[in-house]
Amino acid sequence: MQKVFYNLFDIIKKMNIKDINRIIKEDGIRSIDLKYSDLIGNWYHITFPVRKIEYVLNHGIPFDGSSIPGMKSVEAGDMVLIPDINTAIVDPFMKFPTLRMLAYICDADTRVGVKKDPRSLAKRTQQYMESTGIADKSYWIPEFEFYLFNEATINNGKFAAGYKFTSSENKEDLPFGYKDIDGTAVSNRKGYHIDIPFDKYADIREEMVGLIEKTGCEIRYHHHEVGLSSQQEIETELTQFEDIVDKMMYIKDIIHNTALRNDLTATFMPKPLYEEPGNGMHFHIQLKKNGENIFYNKGTYADLSDEALYFIGGILKHGRSLTAFTNPSTNSFKRLLPGFEAPVKLFFGLANRSAAIRIPKYATSKEMKRIEFRTGDGTCNYYLAMSALLMAGLDGIQNKIMPTPENGYGPFDENVFDWSPEKQDKLFSIPTSLEESLEALKDDQAYLLKGDVFNKELIDSWIHEKMKEVIAVKNRPHPFEMNLYYNL
C-alpha cells in the first residue's frame, strides 16, 4: 500500500488566489486570521495584516509546536502553519473586517503535514480510502446537539466546587431574577419539536443557520430537542468528507459565538444536566465510487449492499476502541447508560434507536441510502473521530466482516433493553468509562495504522493527554460524595 504523506506546500502554491484578492478588495479586509486545531480539538489562531497574504501563502507562519498540548516535544518544536485558501470565509464575529482560513500544521523544514496535525490526518484518510479502490468519496451528515443556557457558573477550587446552569424555557430551571411573567416557561413535558413561543430561541438557531450556510454548508433542518432547558439540534445535508470536517469546526464556532452574541452560552457536553437528555453527535455515512452509492442493493435487508454490511461490521468490531475518539471525555460515559436512547450495545438495525448503528427507515432511495452511527458526541475532535470511523469501516470491507445475529452484531429490530438480562449480556457493549475506552485503543489500533493514516506517536499522545483528564476527574472529590459521606 502506498504511503499517503504529501507535501501540502507544493499543493497550495499551485492554487490561484484571484478569488481571495477579490474578497479582500470587495469586503475591505484588514487582517487574515489563521485557525488550527490541536490534538484534542481546541481551536487556536494567529492574525496577520492582509498585505502579507502572498508572503504567508509562500512561506507559511512559523510557531512553537511544543506550546500546543500533545503536539510536539520541546526538542523539536518548530512548526509552520500553511493556510488553506479553500477554507476562506469572511469572519462573522471579528470587530474589524477579517478573512479567516484554516491551516495545516507542517514541519518547518519539509512543509509536510505533521503526523499529529488533525487536518493532515483527515487528508491522509481521504487519500487512503481512494488508494484502496473501495470508494473515492464518502458523504456525511453530522447532527449537532447542544444546550443554550442563560447562565453557566462553574467553580472548581480546593475548598469549593460546583456549577449552575439555568434556562428561561424550563420552569424548574429559571435564571436568577427571571420571573416568567408571560408564563412561557414550561414543565412536565418533553421539549422535542416544541413550538414557539415556548421554543424561545428558534430565531437564534435561524441566525446560526444563516451564518453556517454562508460557509457553503447546507442545512437540512433545525429544531428544539428533547431537553426542556433549551436543548437544540442543527443537522446538515449530506456533504463530502473533505468539506464537512472543516465545516464542522466552523459550525461549532458559529454556535458558540452566536450564543454569546445573544447573551446565552452553548455547550456540547454529552451530559451537562443530571437526569436530563444528553447531547450526542450522530454521524450519517455513505460511500460512493464513480458517482454510485456502494451502500445500496435493492431487495436485501434494508436495501443494504454487502459493502455496507461489511462497513457496519468493521465499525462494530472496532467499536470499543473507536469510543476513545468518538466519545473522548469522562463526561461522555454519563450519557451512555443502559436503558436510555443513547446506544451502549454494538449492533445494528433498521430504524432502531437502541442500536449503535441505525439504518434510517426514511432513506429508501439509492441516492439517500446510508448508515447512522449514534454513539458519538460533540467532545470529539471531528478530524480524528470521523477518520477513525472511516478506517474501521474500510477495514470491515477489506476483511469482509459480515454482521450477523450469530456474532451478536445484528440486525436486531427490537428494543434490546426489553430483552432479558441474560440475552442482553450476549451483546457486545461499549466501554463504561474513558479509561476503559483508552485501554481498548491500546489493544485494537492496527486498523488505524494502515496507510500511515494514524500513527503510534499520535495514538500514544492521545492516550497520554486523555489519561490526564481521567486522573484530574478521578482525584477530585465529587459534590454528591458530600451527601453520602460527610456526616459518617
Structural domain boundaries in the chain: 8-112, 115-136+290-488, 144-278
Q: Does domain 115-136+290-488 have CATH number 3.40.50.620?
A: no
User: CA-to-CA distance for 212 and 45, rounded, in angstroms?
Assistant: 20
Q: Is 263 left (phi over 0), alpha (psi -120 to 50) or beta?
A: left
Catalytic residue among 51, 193, 220, 353: 353
Active site residue 237: no
Following DSSP, what letter does each residue of 35-89 receive, concatenated?
EEE-SSS-EEEEEEEGGGHHHHHHH-EEEEGGGSTTT--GGG-EEEEEEEEEEEE
User: CA-to-CA distance for 345 and 356, rounded, in angstroms?
Assistant: 6
User: CA-to-CA distance for 417 and 423, rounded, in angstroms?
Assistant: 10
**What's residue 66's pLDDT?**
81
Active site residue 320: no
Catalytic residue among 100, 119, 124, 282: 282
Active site residue 282: yes
Q: Is 113 left (phi over 0), alpha (psi -120 to 50) or beta?
A: beta
User: CA-to-CA distance for 488 and 483, rounded, in angstroms?
Assistant: 10
pLDDT, tens digit, for every residue of 318-367?
Answer: 999 999 999 999 999 999 987 676 899 999 999 888 899 999 999 999 99
Give the residues of the chain that fall short of pLDDT 50: 1-15, 74-75
Q: Which residue has the cell 426489553?
A: 418
Q: Which residue has the cell 432479558?
A: 420
Domain at 8-112: CATH code: 3.10.20.70
Catalytic residue among 84, 117, 143, 169: 143
Going by C-beta distance under 8 Å and a sequence separation of 6 or more, which residues neighbour residue 224? 191, 192, 193, 194, 199, 202, 230, 231, 232, 233
pLDDT, tens digit, for every residue of 420-478?
Answer: 888 888 899 999 999 999 999 999 999 999 999 999 999 999 999 999 999 999 999 99
Residue 169's alpha-carbon distances to 34, 153, 260, in angstroms, are 37, 18, 17
Catalytic residue among 233, 307, 395, 435: 233
Q: Which CATH architecture has domain 144-278?
A: 2-Layer Sandwich (3.30)
**215 contacts 246 by C-beta, under 8 angstroms:** no
Going by C-beta distance under 8 Å and a sequence separation of 6 or more, which residues neighbour residue 399? 310, 314
**What's residue 430's pLDDT?**
96
**What's residue 379's pLDDT?**
97
Cis peptide before 360 (omega within 30 of 0): no
Q: Grid coordinates standing for 35?
A: 485557525
Active site residue 225: yes
Catalytic residue among 91, 117, 374, 377: 374
Active site residue 213: no
Strand runs labelled E in 91-170: 98-107, 137-149, 151-156, 161-166
End-to-end CA distance of the chain: 63
Active site residue 372: yes
Catalytic residue among 38, 372, 395, 435: 372
Domains 115-136+290-488 and 144-278 share a fold: yes
Catalytic residue among 145, 199, 246, 276: 145
Going by C-beta distance under 8 Å and a sequence separation of 6 or more, which residues neighbour residue 260? 266
Sign of CA dihedral 380, 241, 218, 374: negative
Active site residue 353: yes
**232 contacts 277 by C-beta, under 8 angstroms:** no
**What's residue 73's pLDDT?**
59
Give me the amino acid identity at 221. Y
